[in-house]
Chain A
Amino acid sequence: GNSVTQMEGPVTLSEEAFLTINCTYTATGYPSLFWYVQYPGEGLQLLLKATKADDKGSNKGFEATYRKETTSFHLEKGSVQVSDSAVYFCALEETSGSRLTFGEGTQLTVNP
């Protein structure tokens, strides 16, 4: 079956540091890949997505590239802010049916 593996957290960084959160997946076919973010006390919201190999999703300074050869979709940001503190979830959508499979989530804390 499908699965998503994220780097273990929590991750603590200082403001303006470089961020990488690793995500690898196992899937049949050609899934779409997503990063969702959950701010404290809220539901998840879409951060970015990519639908095919070599696509790069980007939003709010975050980027992730769909790498089929390494089955990865790592999230990066060049300079994090305190307001980026949240839980980040990597997810994949099966090629049919719109159901999402989520990773475990990675808690990010950015200190001033």
Chain B
Amino acid sequence: DAEITQSPRHKITETGRQVTLACHQTWNHNNMFWYRQDLGHGLRLIHYSYGVQDTNKGEVSDGYSVSRSNTEDLPLTLESAASSQTSVYFCASSAQASGADTQYFGPGTRLTVL
């Protein structure tokens, strides 16, 4: 069965370190998204991609970067981790660029920055 996976599921790091969160989907979807989930804010879009070599900034992109070298993967990098980036991170994918297409979410990565 097709799926979307994230790794690691839990991560503790220190302020100033570079951290990369992995997202891998086997749906062969063109669209991939990264969100962060914080109490009182719901999910907020960090970065998204509509295909290989395409990346775009979302609502809360400062301090984050992504790259899309193939269809299956969209790793999220925190260049220099800050305590404000402690959060739960979700990756999602969808097939089409528009038309109320369902987004499929990974299980999430809980990141703690000390």
Q: Which of A34, A42, A97 contacts B98 (CB 8 A)?
A: A97
Are B43 and A43 interface neighbours, CB within 8 A? no
What is the chain B residue whose CB lies nearest that of A44? Answer: B105
Q: Which residues of A contact B35 (CB under 8 A)?
A: 102
Question: Scoring A residues 33 to 77 as 1 if CB is less than 8 Å from chain B, else 0, what string do you get?
Answer: 010100001111110010100000000000000000000000000
Q: Is the CB of B103 within 8 A of A97?
A: no
B 26-37 to A, binary, CB cutoff 8 A, 1 in contact else 0:
000001010100
Alpha-carbon distance A41/B90, docked complex (angstroms)? 12
B25 to chain A, nearest CB (A): 12
Q: Judging by beta carbons under 8 Å apart, are A105 and B42 in contact?
A: yes
Chain A residues lying within 8 Å of B44, measured Cβ to Cβ, are 102
- Known pairs A103-B42, A105-B42; A43 contacts B97 (CB<8 A): no
Say whether B100 faces chain A, with CB atoms less than 8 Å apart: yes
> What residues on A are CB-neighbors of B108 within 8 Å?
42-43
A45 with B42: CB separation less than 8 A: no
Q: Does A32 count as interface, using CB distance less than 8 angstroms?
A: yes
Q: CB distance B103 to A46 under 8 Å?
A: yes
Report chain B residues within 8 Å CB of A15: none
Which residues of B sit under 8 angstroms from A93, Cβ to Cβ?
98, 100
- A104 within 8 A of partner (CB): yes
Q: Kindly state the separation between the CA atoms of A42 and B4 in the bound complex, as whole angstroms.
A: 12
Chain A 81-112, CB-CB to B under 8 Å as 1, else 0, gives 00000000100010111111111110000000
Please give me the 5 A-B residue pairs with the lowest Cβ-Cβ distance, nearest first: A43-B105, A32-B100, A102-B42, A102-B43, A44-B105
What residues of chain A have their CB less than 8 Å away from a CB belonging to chain B? 4, 6, 32, 34, 36, 41-46, 49, 51, 89, 93, 95-105
Residues of B near any A CB (own CB < 8 A): 31, 33, 35, 40-45, 48, 58, 90, 92, 94, 96-108
Please list 11 pairs of residues, one from A and one from B, whose beta carbons are closer than 8 Å in the complex, sorted by A's number: A4-B42, A32-B99, A44-B43, A98-B31, A98-B96, A98-B98, A98-B99, A101-B45, A102-B43, A103-B42, A104-B42
